[in-house]
Structure 1
């Protein structure tokens, strides 16, 4: 019988005749598995031992205290630049970390009412007083001067004018895993509450609910803001007439029909009309 092979016919390859292509596939699979195991081990060591490189590696529970301290630093740096107060916390849930994972974002803030209109001057003074590690600076943008800084743990700090006589500073975590959640500092029950309700009574209206916000000061103390709002009232005296006696000899910051503010011994008081109500904030700052 001739040993010639007919055209179009391939000689069989049985189990005892492995092809080089099959050997290559087995080596490729083995190398892929080995690489996956090595990558998993390296990732585990990196997560355990290396510092975080993105904010998604730090939960809201871990970033919350950093944000609290950042707000305290901002309040302390504002110093006697005007009548300062802590703003209510803003906690936004439902943001997306990945297409499959929800997160939350915390923003805390400080607002300063200026005695004049030098917003850039206050921004620069605050930038100069913040910790050097924050690398704070003021830059000019199309919307005016903006302070930017990094408080650590991927907490971003910004400051900008919100009007001719107001500057707002914020410390924001960005979207990140919730973890055990954010627990605000307790700030109620201090003299700020009594003073806020007394000022509302002096204006002629009973005080409603009093809300509290607190922040950790650089020196270890706690700054506190009490915020109270009156019931609607169409016929009430002007803020200056009602509150001048309470102000006493304190340094005046603002006196208009809509806003009356002063500062004394580290405490800032702001009373402002909001439609037919009056809103009062009393803040014990870090320098009190």
Structure 2
């Protein structure tokens, strides 16, 4: 065999082997990714958990939901990174009513979720936990006076955080309410988000969340009290926040975390 042929074989054979191995590795990676859990598989159970909690709460709180967020990093296997994801809802009631609200939620959930109250900690109402399906946990706990949160959280799973939904179109009832409240404090909107989950009996529960342009966020209750619809239930607050319920509609207006802007959340419940 000529020297040139031997040299070609010496180079070509290892390259062929490497190509085959690389192809097999890619095929295995795709197969392994396809069989791993994905957050998209858990979102229906997360939505069901949040919608169930808010439906059980009834009209005893003004409520708002958030989008799906990646809240922790974890490892699904030796070579694959995953995450834990959550969707949450805020519930605002009168201070002192938090325990009754959590009890109402626990009593209104399906027995198959195994809702149970835990020991109270730090003077707050006893929290509640439940399990929805094989991988989603629901927790409902008090965060502050009149403030309760419901959070549905996955275990370690794959996939990416879902993209946010497009905002409501101009002229919708939610947009008109939000714009009216912002105009009362003379500030335009800056960022707009919409979050939606499916209700247990059909239809949907949707929150329009708006962050204003920088503005003075002081004394929101007195500045906006006259903008409440007739017959709306205003929940008492010890914070710079106004939260009311008008039939199936909840509206929550609060100062941003740094007090330089105002957030308005309009939610149509189940």
With the length of structure 1 as denominator, give the TM-score of the two structures: 0.72
Q: Distance in 1 between matches of 2:217 and 2:85?
A: 39
User: Against the structure 1 CA distance between its residues 87 and 182, is the aligned structure 2 distance closer, same or farther, given a 3 Å change threshold?
Assistant: closer
Alignment of 1:187-226 (within 5 A): 188-189=168-169, 190-226=172-208
Name 2:155's counterpart in structure 1.
174
1:247 partner SS: coil
Q: Distance in 1 between matches of 2:224 and 2:163?
A: 37
Name 1:71's counterpart in structure 2.
50
Q: Distance in 2 between matches of 1:235 and 1:268?
A: 20
Supply the RMSD in Å over aligned alpha carbons: 2.5
Q: Distance in 2 between matches of 1:82 and 1:73?
A: 14
Displacement after TM superposition at 1:276 (Å): 2.8
Q: Distance in 2 between matches of 1:184 and 1:151?
A: 24
List alignment gaps of at least 5 residues for structure 2. 1-34
Residue by residue, what CA displacement relative to the aligned partner does 1:226-282 show, whole Å, maximum 9, x if unpaired?
111221223877442334234332111135671111101111111112313221111
User: Against the structure 1 CA distance between its residues 100 and 259, is the aligned structure 2 distance closer, same or farther, given a 3 Å change threshold?
Assistant: same
User: Against the structure 1 CA distance between its residues 132 and 185, is the aligned structure 2 distance closer, same or farther, given a 3 Å change threshold?
Assistant: farther
Q: State whether residues 259 and 273 of structure 1, in contact with CA within 8 Å, keep that contact through their aligned partners in structure 2.
A: yes
List alignment gaps of at least 5 residues for structure 1. 1-55
Q: State whether residues 217 and 261 of structure 2, in contact with CA within 8 Å, keep that contact through their aligned partners in structure 1.
A: no
Displacement after TM superposition at 1:129 (Å): 0.2
Q: 1:97 aligns with which of 49, 72, 76?
A: 76
2:67 partner SS: coil
Name 1:164's counterpart in structure 2.
145
Residue by residue, what CA displacement relative to the aligned partner does 1:67-94 show, whole Å, maximum 9, x if unpaired?
1121111111111111111123312475
With the length of structure 2 as denominator, give the TM-score of the two structures: 0.76
Displacement after TM superposition at 1:99 (Å): 2.7
Q: Distance in 2 between matches of 1:73 and 1:187?
A: 24
User: Against the structure 1 CA distance between its residues 257 and 131, is the aligned structure 2 distance closer, same or farther, given a 3 Å change threshold?
Assistant: closer
Q: State whether residues 190 and 210 of structure 2, in contact with CA within 8 Å, keep that contact through their aligned partners in structure 1.
A: yes
Name 2:116's counterpart in structure 1.
137
Name 1:249's counterpart in structure 2.
231
Q: State whether residues 56 and 104 of structure 2, in contact with CA within 8 Å, keep that contact through their aligned partners in structure 1.
A: yes
User: Against the structure 1 CA distance between its residues 243 and 201, is the aligned structure 2 distance closer, same or farther, given a 3 Å change threshold?
Assistant: farther
Q: State whether residues 209 and 265 of structure 2, in contact with CA within 8 Å, keep that contact through their aligned partners in structure 1.
A: yes
1:280 pairs with 2:259: no
Q: State whether residues 253 and 265 of structure 2, in contact with CA within 8 Å, keep that contact through their aligned partners in structure 1.
A: yes
Q: 1:265 aligns with which of 247, 265, 268?
A: 247
Moved more, 243-252 or 104-113: 243-252
User: Against the structure 1 CA distance between its residues 109 and 235, is the aligned structure 2 distance closer, same or farther, given a 3 Å change threshold?
Assistant: closer
